[in-house]
């Protein structure tokens, strides 16, 4: 019985099971994240030169897709002198119509799937 419970726990965390990533409603995200999401859907212009670059999913926390599927965007952090830790990562083509977007407030240590 204990072995089965361990398997279920591991399966719940597998990156190719996006339904297991905790959802977050867009309206509950910080205003800066909501603004970044609007810019993504509009195709920019983006305030940071690295916005829209390929996100490689090295952490393997997002569902697995071929390289180039995901793009990352900076979420401004008030008071930060650099880009800060907050990002939105979206996957799919075209970038203005992503299949899914994810929010991280801790520089890719964890993600939440953004629900519209």
Question: Domain residues of the chain, as ranges?
Answer: 2-115
Confidence of residue 17 (pLDDT cuts 50, 70, 90): low
Taking residues 18-41, what's their average pLDDT? 92
Per-residue pLDDT reduced to its tens digit, 59-68:
999 999 999 9
pTM of the model: 0.83
Domain 2-115 has CATH 3.40.50.20: no
Q: What are phi and psi of 101, to 5 degrees?
A: -130, 150
Mean pLDDT for 110-114 is: 97
Q: Tell me which residues are annotated as active site.
A: 72, 107
Per-residue model confidence as pLDDT tens digits over 45-59:
999 999 999 999 999
Q: In the numeric block, which tokens belong to residue 49?
A: 């030169």
């Amino acid at each position: 019985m204990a072995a089965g419970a361990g398997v279920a726990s591991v399966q719940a965390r597998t990156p190719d099971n996006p339904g297991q990533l905790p959802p977050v409603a867009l309206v509950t995200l910080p205003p800066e994240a909501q603004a970044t999401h609007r810019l993504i859907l509009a195709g920019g212009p983006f305030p940071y030169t690295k916005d829209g670059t390929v996100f490689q999913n090295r952490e393997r926390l997002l569902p697995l897709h071929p390289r180039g599927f995901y793009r990352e965007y900076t979420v401004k952090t008030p008071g930060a002198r650099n880009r800060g830790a907050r990002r939105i990562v979206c996957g799919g083509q075209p970038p203005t119509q992503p299949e899914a977007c994810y929010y991280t407030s801790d520089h890719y240590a964890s993600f939440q799937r953004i629900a519209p």
